[in-house]
Amino acid sequence: MDRQKRIAVVNDFSGFGRCSLTVSIPIISASGIQCCALPTAVLSNHTGYEDYFFDDYTDKIKPYYMKWEKLGLGFDGIYTGFLGSERQVDIIADFLRRFTGEKTVRIIDPVMGDNGRTYATLTGSLCRRLRHLAEKADILTPNVTEACILTGTPYCDAPDSAVITEMGRRLRRAGSRNVIITGVNDGNTISNYIFQENGKFSVQTSPALGSARAGTGDVFASVIAADAVNGLSLEESVSRAAGFVSKAIEISEKRGIPEQDGLCFEDLLGIMI
C-alpha cells in the first residue's frame, strides 16, 4: 500500500488567532501529509489577547496517545511546539521514545520567548528540561531569544553574525542534528542561519516586511516539518518557509489584519505542493 505520510503535531489548540495547531493542520495537510494533532491545551484564542478560555490538557495527553500506540500508529515526523510545564515536557519525551521510528524526523520548536523576553511559564527547571528535549531534535528551530536561553548567551537586540554562529554550533554540539536560528532581524533584513549535521553552514537573508505577528514561528516551523517529511533539503525548505511567511505578511498588511490575529496565510495554501 502506498501509505500517505503522517506527522504528529504536539501543540496547543487556539480557536482564534492563527497559531499552534490551527496553523499547522492546514499547512501540513496542504503539503500532502496527514496531520495528526496531539493537543496540550485548548484555548478560545491565544494568550496575546486580553481575555481567553484555557483548558489544560496535561492529564489527558498520555491516555490520548496510548490509544494511538494501541492502534499501532507510526509517524514519519513528530513536530513539537509550545510546552507549558515540566510535566508536559516529560510526557512528550515519553511520546518521542514510544513513537520515534527508524526514519521518523523530529522537529522541535523550543517555544520559550521572543524579543529578549521569556514567556511567563518558563522557569529554571522547565528551561533545563527543554534543553534536554532540544538535544533530541533532528531539526531544531529556535528564534534568537530561544537560542540565547538554550546556550546561556546574554541576549542582544542586534547580535552580530559571530554570536549567532557560535550559538548554532553550540546547539549542534549539544546534540541537535540540524539547527535553524530563525528571524535574525537587523532592521532592514531578516536572516535564517542554517547549521547542518554534515557540517555545512549557510545564511539566507530577505528584506524585512511589516511588523511582528503572532504565530509567525508556527507557520515557519510547520513548513519546515512538512518539507522534512517530504524529503526536501534543509536549505530549500528554509527558502520556501521564509518566502511563504513573507507573502503572508504582505497579504496581512494589505488587508489590515491586526498583528495579534496572526498571518493571513490561507490564500497561499495552494502553493504548498
pLDDT of residue 2: 64
Taking the C-alpha atoms of residue 133 and residue 40, their distance in angstroms, rounded to an integer, is 16
Query: Cα-flanking dihedrals φ and ψ of residue 28, to 5°?
Result: -70, -40
pLDDT tens over the chain, length 273 residues: 568 999 999 999 999 999 999 999 999 999 999 999 999 999 999 999 999 999 999 999 999 999 999 999 999 999 999 999 999 999 999 999 999 999 999 999 999 999 899 998 899 999 999 999 999 999 999 999 999 999 999 998 888 999 999 999 999 999 999 999 999 998 889 999 999 999 999 999 999 887 789 999 999 999 999 999 999 999 999 999 999 999 999 999 999 999 999 999 999 999 876
Question: Global pTM?
Answer: 0.96
- Domains defined along the chain, listed by start: 6-271 (3.40.1190.20)
The pLDDT assigned to 14 comes to 96
Write down how long the chain is: 273
pLDDT given at position 273? 67
Rounded Cα distance between 112 and 82, Å, is: 8
Helix (H, G, I), strand (E, B) or coil at 205: strand
C-alpha span between 96 and 259 (Å, rounded): 33
Cell numbers placing 235: 536549505
DSSP string, 185-203: E-SSEEEEEEE-TTS-EEE
**pLDDT at residue 93, as a whole number:** 98
Residue 212: Cβ within 10 Å count: 11
The CA distance from 21 to 42, in Å, is 10
* Long-range pairs for 181-189: beta carbons < 8 A, 24 or more residues apart: 181/142, 181/143, 181/144, 181/147, 182/141, 182/142, 182/143, 182/144, 182/217, 182/220, 183/143, 183/144, 183/216, 183/217, 184/144, 184/159, 186/158, 187/158
